[in-house]
Structure 1
Amino acid sequence: MTVIRKSLAAAGCALLLAVSAACGGSGKADAETRARQSLDRLGEWEAVSVTARIEAPAGRIHEFLRRGHGRGTRPAVSRADARLLARAEVALSVGADRPLKDVGDGDRLDTAASLGFGGPDLAGCRSIGTDFYVRADWTGLAGETGGRHDTVVQAASLAASADGLPPSLAAARDLFRGRWVQIDPEEFDHFARAVGGKYGERAQRLANSVDLLQSAEAQHRLIRSVRRALDRHAGFRDAGRADGAERIAVSLPARAVAGDLSAALEPLEERAGGIGFAWLEEAPDREVTVVLELRGGTLTGMVVDLGQFLREEDSGGLGELPLALDIAPGEAVAVKAPEGARWLDPQDVMAAVLYGELGSRAR
């Protein structure tokens, strides 16, 4: 697992824990009561959106990644990837057919996400019931990543000749043109193989993650388990005001919470076919803090300093590295099945690759 995944997964876990804690507990502390009520207000909507970004310069992000990389034999962290992270923005929307506070254990939560780098969205996915859809602007992604990822580069080259594909490969043509297609997430590794990229463990973990998102039972089991774990650990306190927002700090003993969460996720480990939660064991043995931002009594944002997840001996002099989440009712990304999305099989992608190769040889 890369340091990027370890650090951001840990930070994302802490954010999830803070939200769940705000929903539970006895409400004895005034700050906790206000935090819980801010979540209740969001629950009155049928959809809620979160936009995430790292508010730090690329040089500081690179230093954070370098320090967290450890003293192993893996390749050095790329400055180019740090620059990309500094510009990246991810939007996630969650929706249901009723107010979120009324969603029961058997009800599904649909999701949609997009990725951009300061301009139009370059990639997106939607999980609607048991159906999963994806789209990507391969040329745009290749430009942003500078040709460092084989799968993206190969897909971008295929996009340039997609118009010449026959009607029988219409779904593959749509994929390379940047249109929505419907796929089976379990086939991610085959898609990567078809366009010449790396596949295997990473693709399977991604497929398992999507599988969890699509399972209402898994979603609600995770939420309940996290709430129970956080009831024992989270502490709330007023943190003043900034930029017109009321701030509440949520303190979490990271190692204790990680242990409880690891135990809570154990049933999912078997179901997910080894998705892996070992990274929880690397949580720092100290308190970390997540800051909630409230406006008009509604939760509108969360901020966590990623530097808290470094070892103490590696964190000195780094400066803050805020992961900021803007939260709002409604859909920042449409949570519905895209119209006209064709079903795409991995063999269609392989056929499109072979068709393109034969065409280039004939010219």
Structure 2
Amino acid sequence: MAAACCAVLLTTGAVACGPGEKSAAEKLDKAFDRLGEEKSVALDIAPDASADTIYTALKDSGKKGKKDDDFGRDDAEILAGLKLSYGISSTVPLKTKDKKKGDVALSVKVAKKDDGAALFELRSVDKKTFLRADLKAVVGMKKATNAKEREKKREVEEMLRRADGLPPALGAFRDVIKGEWVVLDAKDVEEFRKKAEEKNGGGKKELDKKTEKQVSDALRKALTENSRIKETGSRNGADHIEVTVSARKAAKDLKEAVKPIESQLSAAGRSKKLPDPDEVPDQDVVFDVALKDGRLSAIGFDMSRMDKDVHGKLPVSLNFGRTPEPVTAPSGAKELKLQDVMGAMMGLAAEKSGGKNRSV
């Protein structure tokens, strides 16, 4: 929600600004125009803070009375070392309105900050879905601090060991849990898509042009009328622009703005329940936008200004790749079918049961 509002606000910043803000708003407009002219965009999102800062901000964010929801020091260490990366590329400039004129490829990845090693990655290229997940690396990130956690860790490690003994026909399952690429069976993906659409209230529908414009105009009005824009000078080779938003007022106007089209949004399967404006902190949120050579370089903000559950300053950064590579299909990916997953799990369960029987 916050990221979406941030993007809309910044891309429409010049709509509602005074004379003193015009120059800064024009620079923002040009930067986003240039972004739309690109065929590939890469974005990294990560907390720009130490583990100590993250722990202080989030340690009381869990549900009261539920120990499993507690945010621990180890969780802060893990979060401090991770980044979420998005990639999008097209055969035509991204701002092209007729999406049918070009093929679009997407990627999302959770990776380590230090070496960029992927823990999980999903790519959609040429109507094919590729996936990889390094389960061993994921389990190894969190220290086992009690008997229950140590037992869970041993179970995962044992499953990975047993996966090496799976027959060649189930090799794709072994690959996907050990960080190797697989391509998902197209029929399984289509079936999953259909079920998701049915759950969202109907078949696949697209918003008509009139409705899309209505949504865009509503967002623009709700966000830009609650913002202030100014230049704050140059630092580290980048020009900085500060965008200040009244968070709760923007949330109230935003919720009111989309009321007339809630049913259409729901039918299109794109709606997410907007947060109650009263749950949004009644304070300003400041976005620090960095531009290098007129291009969007980074956006920074304090998450505690947007979320009541964050009880301390928590800087978050959105960094745009300078020269992003196109999203491409990985080579050597084996096909993974749902029946293979079921077969592998049954085989691993049987081996585990057999191992227990032999140990009795």
Shorter-chain TM-score above 0.5: yes
Q: Is 1:258 the equivalent of 2:251?
A: yes
- Residue 134 and residue 114 in structure 1: after superposition, are their counterparts in 2 closer, same or farther (change >3 A)? same
- Counterpart residue number, 1:180: 181
- Residue 258 and residue 126 in structure 1: after superposition, are their counterparts in 2 closer, same or farther (change >3 A)? farther
C-alpha distance in structure 2 between counterparts of 1:46 and 1:115, whole Å: 23
- Counterpart residue number, 1:45: 38
Q: Cα offset for 1:230?
A: 2.9
Unpaired segments ≥5 residues, structure 2: none
User: What does 1:1-363 correspond to in 2, within 5 Å?
Assistant: 10=2, 12-22=3-13, 29-69=22-62, 72-75=64-67, 76-104=70-98, 109-117=104-112, 118-119=114-115, 120-128=117-125, 130-146=127-143, 156-183=157-184, 221=212, 226-262=219-255, 264=258, 266=262, 267-272=264-269, 275-278=272-275, 282-311=279-308, 318=312, 320-331=313-324, 335-360=327-352, 361=354
In structure 1, give the amino acid aligned to 2:12: A
The answer on whether the counterparts of 2:124 and 2:130 sit within 8 Å (CA) in structure 1 is: yes
Deviates more, 1:83-92 or 1:352-361: 352-361
Q: Cα offset for 1:347?
A: 3.5
The answer on whether the counterparts of 2:297 and 2:321 sit within 8 Å (CA) in structure 1 is: yes
C-alpha distance in structure 1 between counterparts of 2:151 and 2:105, whole Å: 31
In structure 2, give the amino acid aligned to 1:235: R
In structure 2, give the amino acid aligned to 1:328: G
C-alpha distance in structure 2 between counterparts of 1:59 and 1:272, whole Å: 39
Instruction: Give me the TM-score of the superposition, normalised by structure 1.
Output: 0.75
- Residue 275 and residue 41 in structure 1: after superposition, are their counterparts in 2 closer, same or farther (change >3 A)? closer
Cα offsets for 1:139-196 (capped at 9, x unmatched): 11110134669998765543323332123323212212322223456888xxxxxxxx
- Residue 273 and residue 240 in structure 1: after superposition, are their counterparts in 2 closer, same or farther (change >3 A)? closer
C-alpha distance in structure 2 between counterparts of 1:160 and 1:277, whole Å: 44
- Residue 158 and residue 331 in structure 1: after superposition, are their counterparts in 2 closer, same or farther (change >3 A)? farther
The answer on whether the counterparts of 2:243 and 2:289 sit within 8 Å (CA) in structure 1 is: yes
The answer on whether the counterparts of 2:134 and 2:179 sit within 8 Å (CA) in structure 1 is: yes
The answer on whether the counterparts of 1:66 and 1:77 sit within 8 Å (CA) in structure 2 is: yes
Q: Cα offset for 1:17?
A: 3.3
The answer on whether the counterparts of 1:22 and 1:39 sit within 8 Å (CA) in structure 2 is: no
C-alpha distance in structure 2 between counterparts of 1:55 and 1:165, whole Å: 42
Unpaired segments ≥5 residues, structure 1: 1-8, 189-203, 209-213
C-alpha distance in structure 2 between counterparts of 1:32 and 1:104, whole Å: 27
- Residue 86 and residue 228 in structure 1: after superposition, are their counterparts in 2 closer, same or farther (change >3 A)? same
Q: Cα offset for 1:19?
A: 3.5
- Residue 226 and residue 162 in structure 1: after superposition, are their counterparts in 2 closer, same or farther (change >3 A)? farther
Instruction: Give me the TM-score of the superposition, normalised by structure 2.
Output: 0.75
Identity of aligned residues (%): 26
Q: Cα offset for 1:227?
A: 3.9
Q: Cα offset for 1:351?
A: 1.6
Deviates more, 1:97-106 or 1:294-303: 97-106
The answer on whether the counterparts of 1:112 and 1:124 sit within 8 Å (CA) in structure 2 is: yes
- Residue 103 and residue 329 in structure 1: after superposition, are their counterparts in 2 closer, same or farther (change >3 A)? farther
C-alpha distance in structure 2 between counterparts of 1:27 and 1:101, whole Å: 27
Q: Cα offset for 1:43?
A: 2.1
In structure 2, give the amino acid aligned to 1:50: L
Q: Cα offset for 1:59?
A: 2.0
In structure 1, give the amino acid aligned to 2:252: G
C-alpha distance in structure 2 between counterparts of 1:25 and 1:53, whole Å: 30
Cα offsets for 1:44-68 (capped at 9, x unmatched): 2100111122121212212211344
Q: Cα offset for 1:134?
A: 1.7
The answer on whether the counterparts of 1:68 and 1:310 sit within 8 Å (CA) in structure 2 is: no
In structure 1, give the amino acid aligned to 2:350: L
- Residue 280 and residue 113 in structure 1: after superposition, are their counterparts in 2 closer, same or farther (change >3 A)? farther
Secondary structure at the residue paired with 1:160? helix
C-alpha distance in structure 2 between counterparts of 1:134 and 1:83, whole Å: 26
C-alpha RMSD over aligned residues: 3.9
The answer on whether the counterparts of 1:141 and 1:152 sit within 8 Å (CA) in structure 2 is: no
